[in-house]
Amino acid sequence: MLDHEVVGALQPGHLIVILLVVLIIFGPGKLTEIGGQLGRGVRESTEGKDEPKRLVAAARYCAECGSAVESDASFCAQCGRALDAVSVT
């Protein structure tokens, strides 16, 4: 093994060859579609990781049936009771 070579590392030349092969196989139209799907997946995963914190912070429950209700709701969607008497946890 030579001292100046890194075995197993992808160098910029390797990445260019890989990208060209992918471009030839899928074509430019399919690559934009794949990129869009990848971007949506990343966005949904980052939004999804904050979802439990938001739900816990805004957790309200109906005093009548105990079901969870939206923070801005006036009536319980489960039993229909007015939400003037709700418990916040």
Share of the chain above pLDDT 90, in %: 12
CA pair distance 80, 69, nearest whole angstrom: 11
pLDDT score of 31: 84
57 has a pLDDT exceeding 60: no
Higher-confidence position of 86 and 28: 28
pLDDT score of 39: 92
Give buried/exposed letters for 42-71 (b at 16+ CB in 10 A, else e).
eeeeeeeeeeeeeeeeeebbbeeeeeebee
Higher-confidence position of 47 and 35: 35
CATH fold of 1-56: 1.20.5
Model pTM score: 0.38
